Chain A
């Protein structure tokens, strides 16, 4: 399964939902599909899901999306226990598991999932109930749609290939610098909350 097609499907359902993306090629696909003001790109690993968890707990009216790689989630899997502890229904974690640190260096250094580590089972063992591993686009679409329409927290692990690695050479600049990301996000969230009062 190709990562880009799943990311495009996520982007099509997102409808402005706040999203944090861990380092890697997923950032460019999301930005290319549809940049949204409530986006934090290239979050240092392993902090995409912890920061998304804080958002989910602090803004329960909004669905919060964390986009992870296998490498970034494995750098801080303890957060799954905190997600399970508080069970924020508005949090969806999508993990793109290609079994490698694809963005770095040669892109060939394997992660632990290449040797049998099962990220969905980490989530289950942590206490998460709504988990799914998918390895076809059709099954990915079903799982992603449920994560966007049914209460979570969700942990969707998409087993993807490495064929989008060449796109790294043709990527374009992301639509915002990290330096401005917090200001833009905070302002957009504040404006939305103010408008709904």
Chain B
């Protein structure tokens, strides 16, 4: 049975350029992985996106977290919640537009006490330089706010590990989804295109 996303990238290629030619901050990628491991995350699901690709490829490369790709973000959130119900500690990674697609399943998760961690590229304010991300930045935070889902917009890569570990504490203690939003400058080399 295939248990992990199929794509494989050499580590050096990954941290230098990513698959889309983007240059990532290696320490940020490592902090995400370390945070996931420290928080006990053992199930990840994602829809590939340019912002978070470096994290997604790193957790596949490093292993230790069962990782899957979905066909839509709301499907992925539901998969993560299903994994939670059977005892896993899941995370769903997606572009901010995926939160827009996921309002109903997130609401169901809140009502049903079935949470997941959300790692979300794009935010309302920081680094959104392209017009084609206009709709993306417009839905992510407002949907989270509308559902009273607590979220944190990262600013400094040094806080990544702590934020993830503490987010998981809230997820398990309060049985609520928690979002961690990732502006471009946190994960990519400053001034890069894309």
List residues of A whose CB falls within 8 A of some B CB. Answer: 18, 20, 40, 43-44, 47, 50-60, 62, 76, 78-79, 81-82, 85-89, 178-183, 185-186, 189-190, 193
Contacts and interface: CB of A to CB of B under 8 A. Distances in A.
Decide if the interface of chain A is mainly helix, strand, loop or mixed: helix
B87 A54 contact: no
Given A50-B79, A51-B81, A89-B1, A43 B108 contact: yes
B114 A50 contact: no
B113 A55 contact: no
Interface string B45-71: 100000000000000000000101111
Interface residues of B, number: 35
Listed residue (A51, A60, A87) with the most chain B CB atoms within 10 angstroms of its CB: A51
Contacts of B87: 58-59, 186, 189-190, 193
B108 to A, nearest CB: 5
- Which among B66, B105, B109 has the highest number of chain A CB atoms within 10 Å? B105
29 contacts: A44-B105, A47-B74, A47-B75, A50-B105, A51-B78, A51-B81, A53-B79, A54-B81, A54-B83, A54-B85, A58-B66, A58-B82, A58-B86, A58-B88, A58-B90, A59-B87, A78-B71, A78-B75, A79-B75, A81-B71, A85-B69, A89-B1, A178-B112, A181-B112, A181-B113, A181-B114, A183-B175, A185-B85, A189-B85
A60 B2 CA distance: 12
Given A50-B75, A87-B1, A88-B1, A55 B82 contact: yes
A94 B168 CA distance: 34
Contacts of B72: 76, 78
Contact of B80 (A54, A79, A86, A87): A54
Given A44-B105, A54-B80, A82-B71, A87 B2 contact: yes
B155 interface: no
A58 B83 contact: yes
A85 B2 contact: yes
A55 B79 CA distance: 7
Contacts of A44: 104-105, 108
B36 interface: no
Contacts of B43: 54, 57-58
